[in-house]
A and B are shown apart, each in its own frame.
Chain A
Amino acid sequence: MTNFVLPSYKEQSQEVKDRFDRIKERPVMLRVENLTKTFKAKNGPSVALNNVSFQTYRREFTSIIGPSGCGKSTMVRLLAGLESQDSGNIYINDKIITGPGIERGMVFQGYTLFPWLNVVENVMYGLLRKGETKTYAKNKATEWVRLIGLEQFEHSYPSQLSGGMKQRVAIARSLATHPEILLMDEPFGALDAQTRAKMQSYLLQIWKKVNISIVFITHDLDEAIYLSDRIIVLKANPGEIAEIIEVPVSRPRSPDQFLSPEFLATKKRLEELIHPRHEDKDDKLPLVKLTLVGDEVL
């Protein structure tokens, strides 16, 4: 076994440092202040989020990651305005949000395309709600469909599309209304590994072309590192921020970087935060019992 020493994930190259300096000069896009959300459960209330505060900047790609039950889905639903917090505030461009709003687009894990509308009509949906005329909305939507490379499927219905295609349409649908921030709740979680990798590169390309901040929920460490500027790591019970990591991987990103030292260093740090070795109170795997059912093979 080759033993090589990883650099610290806090070591940043000049390019990365400069980029973070530029990002932090930009106006604050999203500000979360002391956000707390409790759910009632059978055995007493469970704290999904406890006093969480952070901010993201314009055009920043932020991921939120954490073990299951850390409240990352609750977080994105609060940001979208689909649920309301117990206390604390969420500001978009310094304005408090009180419900869903058109300045925040959202992409769900389950695609959520309207099955009775074809691809173009799905993309048109938000534009029509904005009060655009049908002709304008149709032209705009068709443009978006071209941009995501689905012009052959303009008139197809969601049931005729693959998972990856559906998610592309969902992304186009939420971007068509020009939101300032795109919330993505494990958008590629239901896709197979290959499609997923394609969609990740694809998302980076779109993000390059569109002026938008992204908040991306995932449980996939590689995905978070590959896509993000910063990663907000949550811990569970109660849901609190464990650490906010500035990803030291340079841009533009490419899949080759998955094995670069700074990538691996970041991943190691994330592993430590999310799967701490010493405290596995919840799930003690009864490995010993396996010997009862079978002899050791090796």
Chain B
Amino acid sequence: MKKQSMFVIWKNLPPIQKRILFTLSFVLPILAWCIISYVPFVWHPMVQITEVGDVSFYKQDMLVQKEVFYRENERLVRQGLKPAKGEPANPIYLPAPHTVANSLVSSFETPPRRPGEPWLHESLMHSISIIFWGFFLSSIFGVPLGIICGTYKFFSNLIEPFIEYFRYLPAPVFGALAVAVLGINDGPKIAIIFIGTFFQQVLVIANTTRKLDSSLIEASQTLGAKRLTIVRTVVIPGILPDLYRDMRILLGWAWTYLIVAEVIGTSTGISWFINQQAKYRNFDQVFAAIIIIGIIGVVSDQIFAWIGRRMFHWETHNEKR
């Protein structure tokens, strides 16, 4: 068999290659991070002080700009004083992979600085519950409305123009209003997720509904189906796999609104945790929290994708995904 070039347009790759590329797509960025962190001459614009020498304002483990360090040492040598010693280092906001890896574990075990503040896992659970309620409430109204708009031109023309307008208003601008109406606790946060999701949801689902093969509806009509029966037995099952995919994408969008939502009113959840750790200059913890959000996102999406494949098994027989 002729060996296939790696860069063929639209052609599937052999499974081994796929697996290698999948691994590489994670390994390469981590590798880049390691190189920047562990190989001194790549970046390292700072010097970490190991011996303070005769500099009065140096402290052990302090980070000093490289130029400052060398200028200061030159001065000390000229004056016959003892120069400081140090090692090249990266700025504090770029911790090395191993410290972040450590924090991934330790951040869950570290008690909050002040009593009464939530632990990391509590912050995470709070974030997830905000997402859940925002997305759930949006879907309860958004999904049926989207299907109705996609099915009946009457409702499409009545409802969609306004939603089309509203969707351009950035959800965060409603923050102050939401606090005024719903107080400073979780209410306004859920409202922001709702506003951020709902309007997109209606339009996306209406479009998905319109993409249903109209000949299926005609076929059902010739088989004796009428009005609501058509919606129940053809439109809804027909769009279900695409609807499910839409929901997965929309859930991703809801996550992006989370960070905005959490700083409205009293700051809570994972955003609060990140801001708090940044204040303490625990950037390893900040990175750990960011990585955790990513992991939650990817893992939950993969679980939903897997559930989707099980639920809509009729689709996967001939389609390669």
Contacts and interface: CB of A to CB of B under 8 A. Distances in A.
A100 B234 contact: no
A48 B297 CA distance: 55
Contacts of A114: 216, 219-220, 234, 237-238
A174 to B, nearest CB: 7
Given A116-B237, A160-B318, A102 B224 contact: yes
Nearest to B223: A126
A108 B219 contact: yes
A155 B213 CA distance: 23
Contact of B315 (A99, A126, A130, A159): A159
A100 B221 contact: yes
Nearest to A156: B317
A106 B222 contact: yes
Interface in B261-304: none
A131 to B, nearest CB: 9
A125 interface: yes
Contacts of A80: 218, 222
Q: Chain B interface secondary structure, helix, strand, loop or mixed?
A: helix
Contacts of B213: 110, 112
B315 A106 contact: no
Contact of B218 (A101, A102, A112, A157): A112
Nearest to A183: B222
Q: Chain A interface secondary structure, helix, strand, loop or mixed?
A: loop
Nearest to A131: B224
A129 interface: yes
Interface residues on B, range: 20 to 34
B106 interface: no
Nearest to B215: A112
Contacts of A118: 314
B157 to A, nearest CB: 20
Nearest to B240: A116
A159 B215 contact: no
Contacts of B234: 114
B233 interface: yes
B102 interface: no
Interface of A: 80-82, 99-102, 104-106, 108, 110, 112, 114-118, 125-126, 129-130, 157-160, 173-174, 177, 183
Given A80-B222, A125-B225, A174-B222, 11 more contacts: A80-B218, A82-B221, A82-B222, A101-B224, A110-B213, A114-B237, A117-B237, A126-B224, A157-B317, A160-B318, A174-B223
14 contacts: A105-B222, A106-B218, A110-B213, A112-B216, A114-B237, A116-B237, A116-B240, A126-B223, A129-B224, A159-B314, A159-B318, A160-B317, A174-B222, A177-B223
